[in-house]
A and B are shown apart, each in its own frame.
Chain A
Amino acid sequence: MVMGDLPQQTDLLVIGGGPGGYVAALRAAALGKSVTLVEKERLGGMCLHYGCIPSKTLIHAANFVEDARHAEEIGLTASTSVDVAKLRAWKEKVVGQLCRGIEHLCQKRGVTVIQGVAQFESPNRALIHLPDGKQGIEFGKAIIATGSKSIEIPGFSYRQARIWNSRKALELTEIPKRLVVIGAGYIGLELGFMYAKLGSHVTILEGMPSFLPQADNETRKLLEKRMKELGVELKLNCKVEGYSETTPSAGQKVGGDAALTVRTSGGNVYTDYVLVCVGHRPYVEGLALEKARVKTDSKGFIVTNISMQTNQPHIYAIGDVRGGPLLAHKAYLEGKVAGEHAAGHNVAFLAKVIPSVIFCDPEIASAGLSEEEAKKQGLHVKAAKFPFQASGRALSMNAGDGFVKVVASEDNTILGVQIVGPDAGELIGEAVLAIELGASVEDFALSIHPHPTLSEGLTEAMENFLGKGVHS
């Protein structure tokens, strides 16, 4: 992947080539800086290789399978089977194509890309561990974009073949007969649903009395309903204590041919693989941040200002490693801000909202404040909903579960929108724009949305807010 020789010095050293890092490098290079990007694996980072893209690729396939299973309900007969090798190859093709795209962009903009591991030696110098040796590099400015890593729980080492983190789960080596997912956060749910649709019997274990804290009760009910339909077992208040390889004799009796026995506060669970999704922590190992005298917070995230500068103003941190919601699009914008700021422009991260999408079933998307959050922050808000059951388009897609909810201030300024239902992720962008522009509920309601589409759900919710709803 080395696209150039490692220079002795550079205007800007970018460490990490994920969504944050490569975007920062491209921006700064476009603004005339000499940029060296050091990535220890492949360009695209977690997002491209073992995060957003592979998960969404496989979720798409899994939804396909699931839809085919239900095709009969609408008068179609189809039989599907999953060819794991081919599916994996397709996922790798998607990832490969995108990865080459990033490499090409870097080449075109003159970013020197180096495969290696960067380690600070001082606030202006780093040592790069190359595949074949080490070399020092002086930098004027640096951007740290090293991302995050899945947290391990004691006793469940990812080095064990049957203990997965999300990265291993997305390698798609096989579709296990049984899969235990520890942690019912968004990644656990996405991957749990995915494997369930691909054919695994999935059990999700959650230590807390509730799950997916960012969602409201109605959303959680819809998810629980769907889990039942998919045969996914959700065990709340369930603390994991450990696991053991099941000896054939003992396993035979209770757990069938399951390879593992997971001990929990609620009894044993038998499974073939365990997928641990209990969150991410900043990835700063090996960076020697102390040599750069860059400060981190108590959780290890690098602290920055809104222009992404750390306590060393010439060193920036972006993306997952600086905390906040661990999302690729947040990393993108931070990358742009840092890249431009490092190139001498006076810019800052000024977005009002960072939308989020959970690619579950139904899909869940959110932008801005929820009713609860707004109230907690002392804002006087009103909210209104529109159920997709009343949407022609949703019913025509055989997907009437879900709703659109709008939260607005007393003077009808839209502060938040939550969408649960088909293509929620595609629909939320419009809400983001509305909130960023300070649109009022009325502005939204008066904008014609094409019929029959799911986007009408948004206008309907707005009209309900104004007490003018026609369809619900």
Chain B
Amino acid sequence: MAETILFTDVGEGIHEGKLVQWRVAEGEAIKEDQPLCEIETDKAVVEIPSSKTGTVLKLHASVGQIMHVGDSLVTVGQPGESIPAVTASAVSSGHPSSPAAPVTTSSSPTVPVSKPPVSAPTSASLSATSAPKATPAVRKLAQQLGVDLNRVNGSGPGGLVTESDVQSAKSSASKDAQGASSELPASSSQYRQAAAGPSIHPALIKAAPSVRKLAFELGVDLGRVQGSGTGGRITEDDVRNANAPQSTAMSASAPTAASVPASPVSVSVPAPSAATRRIHVVSRPYGTEIRKPFTPVRKIISERLSWSAALPTVTHVDEADVTELWKIREKEKVHADEKGVKLTLLPFVVKAVCKALQEFPDFNASLDDEKGEVVLKKYYDVGIAVDTPIGLMVPVLKDADKKSVFDIAQQVQLLATKAKERSLKADELSGSTFTITNIGSAGGIYATPLINPPEAAILGVMRMQTRPAFAPAKKNATDSKAKPSKSAPKVEARQFLPLCLTFDHRLNDGAAAALFVMEVKKHLENPEGLLVGDI
């Protein structure tokens, strides 16, 4: 009996993903758990394993297509068997990585299935097809709130689902969602509005039909969008802005716990038409232009950095003389290499930053706008910006202050590899308290990085420069004969590491920033302290 395997939730509340590659072909014999395809979500590329052994009769989607939970992936059966109806009577859910028992049903529609095979191709929220008894208003409310009426028990007469049933289903759902994804920007007004409770009455939504159409296409819940037009009318731009995904590639920050709004459970995120996904070349009067999709990851980066760019920030630039540190690094590198760890200056900088943060707590902080409080974080989770082929990712090094330089080196290496392979888990992308961006690995003299909100500052580490410079006076007084003040200053080749600190001026002033960077410098210039314990 042929069965169709559906794309099911791959965890982390992901509703959709792009099919990037098929790992099987029609006619191929496959085994249970063998990967069927790769789906790119906001955060990672995941393999979808088969829940069946058999022969692939049909692939239901094509590469590049946006898949929604509930969409058919493949039909598996005996060679030569005819393929059942479009949404086959027998469905089976592909199980991602958990050993969730594959649901297999016979052709009888009465056999209970744990996930009703009603999912419309558009989205989960639209799958309220066989919605039980509910008035149109209630149905609409459910649609607005992304509540599946099939899963709501009606409290009205004859099992009628009432508005309050839907509201309470929604609030329990968002509680779940709150637990699942705490990665929402803390202080964007738009999202604060979003958190302001249940979606408003549909009649009160001020949006023209064309705007509502766009919202539907983009899967934006208008009840949660604040209109910027006259009298609060929602414009097309408002909808587009609200469409920025809620999850974050660019380090999902840990917003101040108190102000974390419940994630506005992204309801239907329908597939953009194929045309908008393709790269196409257009001839223009001025020459050829290429149009390519603005990818989900870039959208997330865009949303977060636009937020960041709106903050009053200042970049303070300094440089550390790392000649001594470089020597240590050269020496220790050999040991590290033996252990398969690439030792760069970065782990030392991480270490120095943690020490400086402990001295200057206002830099390991965030601002809770709503409450008018500054949150000082007593944990030091350092975000490390990593350049990947699909865009900037910021994996998080947890409790960096407690780790040795060697451990840091090892973990940064691991996180960077995962980021490039896009196998980072959501929790490896969230919760940083301060970010370091190692722009120097690419080059450059100075830069003005953008803060990773809601953090207080970000440190850009530039490329180390070797320059002729005066050797510093020896601080060590044991050599009593050395009288630095009298001897002529000596010029020698020395190593300098430019440091660019961008800080949120609301939280710290320029003098504090200068002192903070001095503190980082101090540790880098006197590296012994960094090496306490095993390196």
Contacts and interface: CB of A to CB of B under 8 A. Distances in A.
B319 interface: no
A232 to B, nearest CB: 33
Contacts of A347: 213, 216
Contact of A346 (B129, B139, B143, B273): B273
Given A313-B87, A351-B209, A411 B232 contact: yes
B80 interface: no
Contacts of B246: none
Interface string B112-150: 000000111110001111110100110110010000000
Nearest to A312: B87
Nearest to B143: A306
A294 to B, nearest CB: 9
Contacts of B126: 305-307, 309, 348
A345 B273 contact: yes
A141 B87 CA distance: 11
A313 B273 contact: no
Contacts of B271: 346
Given A436-B209, A438-B206, A377 B129 contact: no
Nearest to B109: A293
Interface stretch (B188-196, B197-205, B416-424): B197-205
A305 B216 contact: no
A389 interface: no
**Residue in A307, A310, A324, A345 whose Cβ sees the most chain B Cβ within 10 Å:** A307
Contact of B129 (A141, A303, A368): A303
Contacts of A378: 201
Contacts of B203: 352, 368-369, 374, 377, 379, 409, 415
A377 B137 contact: yes
A1 B233 CA distance: 49
Given A313-B119, A409-B204, A346 B217 contact: yes
Given A123-B89, A293-B109, A350-B209, A305 B128 contact: yes
B128 A438 contact: no
B4 to A, nearest CB: 12
B309 interface: no
A346 B68 CA distance: 13
A185 interface: no
- A interface bracket (residues with beta carbon within 8 Å of B): 35 or more
Nearest to A438: B206
Nearest to B159: A298
B216 A124 contact: no
B231 interface: yes
Nearest to B207: A438
**Residue in A122, A379, A437, A440 whose Cβ sees the most chain B Cβ within 10 Å:** A437
Given A313-B129, A379-B203, A409-B204, A122 B122 contact: no
Interface residues of B, number: 43
Nearest to B229: A438
A72 interface: no
A305 B231 contact: no
A322 to B, nearest CB: 11
B258 interface: no
Contacts of B131: 303, 305
A166 interface: no
Interface in A115-157: 122-124, 140-141
Contacts of B282: none
A413 B231 contact: yes
Contact of A297 (B133, B136, B207): B133
B86 interface: yes
A313 B120 contact: yes
B257 interface: no
A374 B158 CA distance: 24
A303 B161 CA distance: 15
A299 to B, nearest CB: 10
B231 A307 contact: no
Contacts of A368: 203
A281 interface: no
A295 interface: yes
Given A122-B85, A314-B87, A411-B231, A438 B133 contact: no
Contact of B118 (A311, A350, A412): A311
Interface in B262-281: 270-271, 273
Contacts of B204: 379, 409, 413, 415
A303 B150 CA distance: 12
A465 to B, nearest CB: 15
Contact of B208 (A293, A345, A437): A437
Nearest to B119: A313
Interface in A290-340: 293, 295, 297-298, 303-307, 309-314, 324
Nearest to A122: B85
Nearest to A435: B203
A314 B89 CA distance: 12
**Residue in B120, B129, B270 whose Cβ sees the most chain A Cβ within 10 Å:** B129
Nearest to B139: A306
Contacts of B207: 438
Contacts of A345: 273
Nearest to A409: B204
A430 to B, nearest CB: 15
A150 to B, nearest CB: 23
Interface in B195-245: 201-209, 212-213, 216-217, 231-234
Contacts of B158: 298
16 contacts: A123-B86, A124-B85, A297-B133, A305-B131, A307-B122, A313-B86, A313-B119, A313-B121, A313-B129, A314-B87, A324-B136, A409-B203, A409-B204, A413-B206, A438-B208, A440-B231
Q: Shortest 7 CB-CB distances between A and B: which pairs?
A: A438-B206, A311-B130, A346-B270, A311-B129, A314-B86, A305-B126, A124-B85
Interface of B: 85-87, 89, 109, 118-122, 126-131, 133, 136-137, 139-140, 143, 158, 201-209, 212-213, 216-217, 231-234, 270-271, 273
Given A305-B127, A306-B126, A378-B201, 7 more contacts: A306-B143, A307-B122, A345-B273, A377-B203, A411-B231, A411-B232, A413-B231
